[in-house]
Structure 1
C-alpha cells in the first residue's frame, strides 16, 4: 500500500532520452518510462541516503555542435570519469558508477508475467537533472559491445542534451559522441585508415571493445574513410553476414553500484526489507537491481573493483 502514497519523481516523458529504433512501439516506450521512473526513484533515495556525490560531468550549451565540439566534450568526459585520454575503456560500467552515475538493466514482464530482459527496438534510456543532481542510465542487456555503446550513447544524451533539448539531430550527435568517447580522436586517427580490411577492423574491435560497424563509422566521422570506402565496407559486412552477427565477442559488463548500496542499507538479503521501505514489490526491485553473478562471460570476476573486460576473438 505504501506504493500509492510515496512521492514519485517528476520525470516528463519528453525529457527522457532513448536509444531506440524508429519502429519502437509507443506502448513499450510508455512501459519503459514507467519502469524507469520507479528505478530512478529507488536509486535516488538510496544514493542520497548514503551521501553519494552527484556526477561531475561537463555539459553542452551551444546551439549547434561541430564534430570538433563533440570530440572536445568526449575528452572532457573521459577526464571527468578518470579515464586515460588515449587508451581503451576497460570497464565502462564501473567508470560510470565510480563517477556517481547509476547503471541498471531493464527487464519488463510480458503479458504472462514472465520477465523479458530484451527489446528488439529499444536499447537504453537516461535522465540527468543537471549539476548536483543524480543520474541514471538503464539498458536492455545484449552483446557486450552493444551494451558498451548503448551506455556511451546514453551518457552522450546526458552530456549533450540535458541543456540542449532542442538539438536538431540528437541521435546523430549521441552516436558520434559515443564513438569519440570509446575510441579517442588521436588513436582513431592512428588506428583507423582507409586501407584497413574487415579482418583489421575485427582486430581493432578486440582492442577497443567497439563493434566493427561503429569503428567504420568512427573512421568516417574523423575523415579517414570516405563515403565510397564506407559503402564498400558495409557491403562486405552484409555479404559475410556480419551486419547481424559480428566476429570477436566482447565480455558483458554488469552494474554493481546499486546492488552494493542496497546491501549497505538493507543487509545481505536486501529485497524484502528494502521493498517495504522503498514501497516497491520485491520482484520489481529484483528486476531493477538483480543479484550479481560471480563471473561475467569474457570478463574477470564482477566483484573485482578494477575488473577489466577481455575482448575475445570468436572464430567465424
Structure 2
C-alpha cells in the first residue's frame, strides 16, 4: 500500500520542492500534493516514474510510515547560513540513515551509549570530566571516530548534496548520532566530531529539543578545544609566546588544525592578543585557513568497516539497499569517506 510520507521523504531527500518535482516528472503540483497529503493514491505508472526521478525503488513507497526528523531535535553547525530546502534535505537523508542504522542494529551487536549529560557544567570542566571518565588522561586522542563509536555514538557521513550543513548531531531513542562532512581535512573532521560531542554532552538530556544559536555553538567549540587540547597537557609543553614552528609542531602532536591550536593558546592566555592575531595572519598567508598543509589522514569508522566487510554478512551494502528499497549508491552516500565504498 502506498505510504504518502515516503513520497515526501524521497522528495526532500533530493532537495526538491513540489514545483520542481512537477517540472521533472510532468505530474502537476496539485496532484503531487494530493499524493503527499493522502487524498488519493498514485497509479503504479506514476509511482514507477516518481521512483526513477527520486532515485529509489517503487517499493520504497510501500515501506512503513516514517516522519522526517524535526529540525528542533537536531544541533546544526551552520543553520543560520543554510536554506530551509538544504536543511530539509539533510534531515531527510539522516532519516534514511536511521533506517540503515536500524538494519545494522538488527545484524550486529553495537556498543551501548555511554555519553553523559553534563549540562550543569561549563565546557572546559565537562571536557575534563569526559577525559577522566573515558580514561583519556591528558594525551592526544588518537582517533575521534573510534572513540565516539566505542562509547555508543553512531557516526555517519553527511550526503554530498547536503554538505552546506557542515555537521550535526541528535539523539534518537536515547542513542546519539553524529553526522560529519568527510570532504574536510582530517583535523577539521576531528574538531567537528568533538564539537558535536559537546552538543550531546552539554545541550541534551537524551530526547528534548536541542538549543540553537551562537552561544551554544561557542560552548561546543570551547568543549571541542578542551577535549582535543586539554589545558594540563598544553600547559605542560611550555607554550607561552610560542613561535610559529612550535605551534605547527604542537598542532601535529595534538592532531588539530594550526588555527585551532593557535586559538587554544590564546584561550589559555599563552599568547598575547597581538601575537594571536599576527600568527593567524601568517597562517592564513601560508594557506592554513582553508587547508592543512602536511596534515593528517582523515579518520575512518571501525564499526562501519566491520559491518560492511564482515565475512558472515555477505554483500552488506546490497542487503542494506534491498532492506531500504534504495539503490546501493544511496547506502554508499551515508558512509562515503568513513569506509572504502567498494563494499
TM-score of the pair, normalised by structure 1? 0.77
Q: What SS does the corresponding residue of 1:249 show, helix, strand or coil?
A: coil
2:281 aligned residue (226, 229, 235): 235
**Structure 2 unmatched ranges of 5 or more:** 1-57
Shift of 1:202: 0.7
Matches of 1:140 and 1:280, distance apart in 2: 22
**2:296: which partner in 1?**
250
Residue 103 of structure 2 contacts residue 323 of structure 2 at CA under 8 Å; is this kept in 1?
Answer: no
Shift of 1:182: 0.7
1:128 aligned residue (171, 189, 192): 171
Matches of 1:25 and 1:202, distance apart in 2: 36
Residue 161 of structure 1 contacts residue 167 of structure 1 at CA under 8 Å; is this kept in 2?
Answer: no
Shift of 1:193: 3.1
Instruction: Output one character per residue of 1:175-202: Cα deviation in whole Å (capped at 9) or x when no partner.
Output: 1111111111201222363411121111
**1:145: which partner in 2?**
187
Q: Are 2:93 and 1:50 aligned?
A: no
The structure with the largest alpha-carbon Rg is 2
1:99 aligned residue (129, 133, 151): 151
Shift of 1:54: 2.9
Residue 46 of structure 1 contacts residue 262 of structure 1 at CA under 8 Å; is this kept in 2?
Answer: no
Matches of 1:269 and 1:139, distance apart in 2: 25
- Provide the alpha-carbon RMSD of the alignment: 2.8
How many residues align? The count is 277
Residue 40 of structure 1 contacts residue 136 of structure 1 at CA under 8 Å; is this kept in 2?
Answer: no
1:78 aligned residue (131, 136, 156): 131
Q: How does 1:148-167 map to 2 (within 5 A)?
A: 148-163=190-205, 165-166=210-211
Matches of 2:227 and 2:240, distance apart in 1: 21
Matches of 2:285 and 2:309, distance apart in 1: 49
Matches of 1:274 and 1:263, distance apart in 2: 13
Instruction: Output one character per residue of 1:21-78: Cα deviation in whole Å (capped at 9) or x when no partner.
Output: 753333222211111121123214422653434311111233xx5xxx2222112223
Matches of 2:239 and 2:185, distance apart in 1: 26
Q: How does 1:57-72 map to 2 (within 5 A)?
A: 57-62=115-120, 69-72=122-125
Shift of 1:104: 1.5
Residue 19 of structure 1 contacts residue 124 of structure 1 at CA under 8 Å; is this kept in 2?
Answer: yes
Matches of 2:68 and 2:85, distance apart in 1: 20
